[in-house]
Amino acid sequence: MTVQSPSRPRPQDPPPTTVERTPMAPRAAWRRRLTRADEKASPYAYISPFFILFGVVGLFPLGYTAWVSLHKWSLIGGQGAFVGLKNYTDVLGQPYFWNALKNTVSIFLLSSVPQIIIALLIAAALDSNLRARTFWRMGVLLPYVLAPVAVALIFSDLFGDKFGLVNHLLGLVGIDPVQWHKEVLPSHVAIATMVNFRWIGYNALIFLAAMQAVPRDYYEAALIDGAGRVRTFISITIPQLRATIIFVIVTSTIGGLQIFDEPRMYDQYGLGGADRQWQTLTLYLYQLGWTQKNFGRAAAVAWMLFLIIVIFAIINFLLTRRIASKGSR
């Protein structure tokens, strides 16, 4: 009879996973950190070129203009003594500033309000079943391609006081000639006509792009319910274009209050008329900076114009948003 000795337990090998995980764990953790960082930072990296460019060509000049407005500044000597808000008080005490502000607001209202309304109507017409729609869409954009100087020169001749085509047409229907370059309101109307000629087609194409994004099911349901084109336009198209209308109004406000080319080229002197009857804030700023060489006051006018644009843009945004929300309800 043989006695068998109890067998010793065979030592088990360590699990292979333990040996393989040990050197790979730090590397995997590092990769996970890189992945999370990439997911969080990539969107900001993609949009950073715009903000970098905006900071260089937008924020830096704005801040530098504010610094110039607080000093005496000459073309040759550069920065002078610190004067604080004296440049602002001096500008606000000038009647020419208030005249330029009044002219700017008047031209802005005469151009922006009809411009947006007409652009909406043109976009609605281009959105319908027209023949040669591409031709008409390209045609409305042609005035925007033209140089503003050329447009101003042509329209200044059309609105001539003695030999202008507009006065000639008015004379055919028995209306006395209008003094387009001497009276205040006619000069504002003429300049606003130039602005509308250039920008109506551009805004119409923006509205058209937004209209084509509206689901056609809405229009089909409205036609089944018996709604006409006018009712459909008011009840469906306008509420669906709320964001686009706000965008166009804000951009039109910014461009309308910074108008320079049209009033500058409306006559051969470029000073806003003999009595400053169409001198805008930008023309007044130009005169202070490059005629009187007073860069401190010119910078103060630039900053006040910036604040005026911000105030007008906020008011337009709030009013448009409220009206559009009421219309959608």
Percent of the chain with pLDDT over 90: 39
236 contacts 219 by C-beta, under 8 angstroms: yes
Q: Is the pLDDT higher at 62 or at 7?
A: 62
**C-alpha span between 299 and 73 (Å, rounded):** 10
pLDDT tens-digit profile of 38-48? 788 888 888 88
Average pLDDT over residues 117-136: 86
298 contacts 314 by C-beta, under 8 angstroms: no
Mark out the alpha helices in 55-132 (DSSP H runs).
Answer: 60-69, 86-92, 95-126
Structure tokens at 317: 């945004």
Q: Is 74 helix (H, G, I), strand (E, B) or coil?
A: strand
* Burial group, residue 194, by CB count within 10 angstroms (0-12, 13-18, 19+): buried
**C-alpha span between 182 and 34 (Å, rounded):** 69
Specify the pLDDT at position 19: 47
pLDDT tens-digit profile of 59-107? 899 899 999 999 998 877 778 889 989 999 999 999 999 999 999 999 9
Lowest-pLDDT choice from 167-176, 219-228, 242-251: 219-228
Which CATH number is correct for 88-327, 1.10.3720.10, 3.90.1150.10, 1.10.760.10, 1.10.10.10?
Answer: 1.10.3720.10
Q: Where in the chain is the domain with CATH 1.10.3720.10?
A: 88-327
In angstroms, what CA-CA distances link 291 with 68, 257, 271, 283?
17, 22, 10, 11
Angle at 65 between CA 59 and CA 67, to 5 degrees: 105
**Dihedral Cα 24, 25, 31, 35, nearest 10 deg:** 140
Average pLDDT over residues 114-121: 93
Secondary structure letter of residue 293 according to DSSP: -
Structure tokens at 228: 């006409």
97 contacts 91 by C-beta, under 8 angstroms: yes
